[in-house]
Homo-oligomer: A and B are copies of this chain.
């Protein structure tokens, strides 16, 4: 679901390895939004050096870099906004645990956003946020969907508090959007698990267990990103750097509640899927038991009977080849009604066995 990346062990810290090198990342797109309460302008630039023209507008500046291939742009931003090289390295080392760092110049947040693409695969992308008094820089892995779009729409529409507030509120809004996007993903997993439950009670199959196993792994992975997310929001709530206004904190507390609810959801889905696995085990165990019972009942009834008819299929001769009678060699075969008597006896044996199995509650 998430791509993990880091430099070779023992290498110098704070090295920016441009992610272009693996030939997979295209040149990232850079989007700049400058706004205050009254105006909003948007620019899409392709070369990091065009950034310079927009940095001194006095408005709130949101720089969004979509893709990790442009180490130069990062270096440039790093110099301009005094970003620590270790933080920039974290931006590129994807698949990280969400975290928050406070510095005198900015707050740095790493989070993982989650969404489902058209084919319903769960995708994860690392998002890094730097924000100070008047600026916010977001750098995300390149992907199919951008969870920031609803926030951009709110910015453009100018409704609500978002245009009237500072960069901290924008950071909150983005973080809230990231967190909110976990809900539909989790709920889809939840629905899928519940459908699985119904199927599983019908007829357990190996495919279901594999699917269930897959969901459990997804949930584990989501949990590993949701738990530290709570700490991130908590870190913002108790921000020592003074970048967060108290009016924003009320919203952050709401955001905090959401992370707690997310954890609740993840845990409860995990518990349900563990319960399902157990149900599956017991279901298979009981089925095996039933199958064995049928086998045992049928075998126990017919094997002795088959033995009996085998006895009377033996060819013990009534007389030797030279005609001497062998009177005790299978005299039953020469009894009047011998056949009938045998059939009745075998029928009775079968009935008695059935009654015994009935009494043992095997039927």
Q: Hey, which bits of chain A sit against chain B, CB under 8 A? A: 4, 6, 8-13, 84, 86, 90, 96-97, 99, 101, 147, 149-151, 154, 159-160, 162, 176-177, 180-181, 183-184, 187, 201, 203-206, 209-210, 213, 216-217, 220-221, 224, 250-251, 253-254, 257, 260-261, 264, 268, 271-272, 275, 277-289, 291-296, 298-300, 302-307, 309-321, 325-326, 328-330, 332-340, 342, 361-362
Known contacts A13-B176, A320-B334; is A261 also within 8 Å of B97 by CB? yes
Are A303 and B298 interface neighbours, CB within 8 A? yes
B333 to A316, Cβ gap below 8 A?
A: yes
How far does the alpha carbon of A332 sit from the alpha carbon of B320 in the complex, in Å? 11
On whether the beta carbons of A339 and B335 are closer than 8 Å, the reply is: no
Q: Is the CB of A314 within 8 A of B316?
A: no
* A286 / chain B contacts, CB cutoff of 8 Å: 204-206, 209, 284
Are A10 and B150 closer than 8 Å at their CB atoms?
yes
- Tell me whether A333 and B311 are in contact in the complex, defined as CB-CB below 8 angstroms, given that A12-B154, A291-B296, A296-B295 are known contacts: no
Q: Is the CB of A339 within 8 A of B321?
A: no
- Is A181 a contact of B279 with CB atoms below 8 Å? no
Please indicate the chain B residues that have their CB under 8 angstroms from the CB of A335 in the complex: 326
Residue of B nearest to A272 (CB): B217
User: Within the assembled complex, what's the spacing in Å between the Cα atoms of A96 and B303?
Assistant: 60
- Residues from chain B with a CB closer than 8 A to the CB of A325 are 321
A200 to chain B, nearest CB (A): 10
A-B pairs with beta carbons under 8 Å apart, 18 shown: A6-B183, A8-B150, A11-B150, A201-B210, A204-B286, A216-B275, A294-B300, A295-B299, A302-B303, A302-B306, A305-B307, A306-B306, A309-B311, A314-B342, A315-B315, A316-B332, A321-B334, A329-B336
Q: Which residue of B lies closest to A310 (CB)?
A: B309
- Are A159 and B12 closer than 8 Å at their CB atoms? yes
Contact A298 B298 (CB under 8 A): no
Q: How far is the CA of A333 from the CA of B319 in the complex (A)?
A: 9
In the complex the two chains form, is B283's CB within 8 Å of A209's CB?
yes
Q: B303 touching A99 by the CB < 8 A rule? A: no
State in angstroms the CA–CA spacing of A251 and B224 once bound together: 24
**Whole-angstrom CA separation of A99 from B256 in the bound complex:** 12
CA distance A306 to B250 in the complex (A): 81
CB distance from A257 to the nearest CB of B (A): 6
Taking A209-B279, A261-B96, A334-B321 as contacts, is the C-beta distance between A9 and B150 under 8 angstroms? yes
A295-B296, A336-B328, A361-B203 known; A183-B9 Cβ under 8 A: yes
Asked if residues A316 and B339 are in contact (CB atoms below 8 Å), the reply is yes
CB of A300 to closest CB in B, whole Å = 5
Known contacts being A220-B268, A300-B295, A338-B329, is A12 close to B160, with CB within 8 Å?
yes
**CA A220 to CA B205, docked complex, whole Å:** 26
Chain B residues in 8 Å Cβ range of A206: 201, 283, 286
Given A12-B159, A303-B306, A309-B307, check contact A281 B280 (CB 8 Å).
no
The answer to whether B326 and A338 have CB atoms under 8 Å apart is yes
* Top 9 A-B residue pairs of the complex, sorted by shortest distance between their CB atoms: A10-B150, A9-B180, A309-B310, A312-B314, A10-B177, A295-B296, A313-B313, A329-B339, A316-B339
Which residues of B are found within 8 Å of A13, using beta-carbon distances? 160, 176, 251, 254
Contact A177 B9 (CB under 8 A): yes
Q: Which residues of B contact A334 (CB under 8 A)?
A: 317, 320-321, 326
**B residues in contact with A303, CB < 8 Å:** 298-299, 302-303, 306
